[in-house]
Structure 1
């Protein structure tokens, strides 16, 4: 049978109702079941309730103004500050640890959580404009993670 021009023929896929299969939660998770050891099966079995969080990071300038942003895990905080429009964070080297234009200070409690600067970062911190504090860091060397939720970084006045 030929179709006239300008008309279309709808062909149904003819799907038949499938048998209901037991959901993954009813399948026992053990080594004898090949599919049970896959990540997808474990996520289904446990309801996949854990969702990655995006930490909220705050930058505070010398005048006390604050800019906060949710930063994706794995992003360096210099890039996040530039994206958020934080004044005083320039990142001239693009995060290559070749300048100190992303200098920030942290609260002593957060300094312990972040750990000490690496040897190259320590050398670059000697070149910062203004005063270097014991909690000084280069924000390009700090990567966002869930553990940094609520971190406050202080942008020193000399950088502004």
Structure 2
């Protein structure tokens, strides 16, 4: 079984129910098991700021499927929950990002692992550090907790 970490966010509709539904649907997949779940974090929008606040969280999953198959699963769940991709950083019922997958480093057109922007986003690092603070970011060789502390201190990561 591979261990992966996913970041989830919602800022449209019933945000908490959207997140709960996404986690439930992940866990209902035969090849995915949600093993840890962070607290919920209310955050201001990132990038495009003229939209409602988000609720963000992270989950740890164990899976038997590849990163690309996991991506297909999360995209299907987003679609089932009404995700419409109209604009970059726009409002959404649900967003599910693969943040880490084991110690894998992968760069494809549709998928980058580790997530390329996670070290710059408190709304990712705060919930991720809660459930995986000691996990090493394979690109930086630093723990998630260290990346969080560096971001809070205003230090620039590569």
TM above 0.5, yes or no, is no
The TM-score bracket by the shorter chain reads: under 0.3
Task: Name which one, 1 or 2, has greater alpha-carbon Rg.
Answer: 1
TM (normalized to structure 1)? 0.23
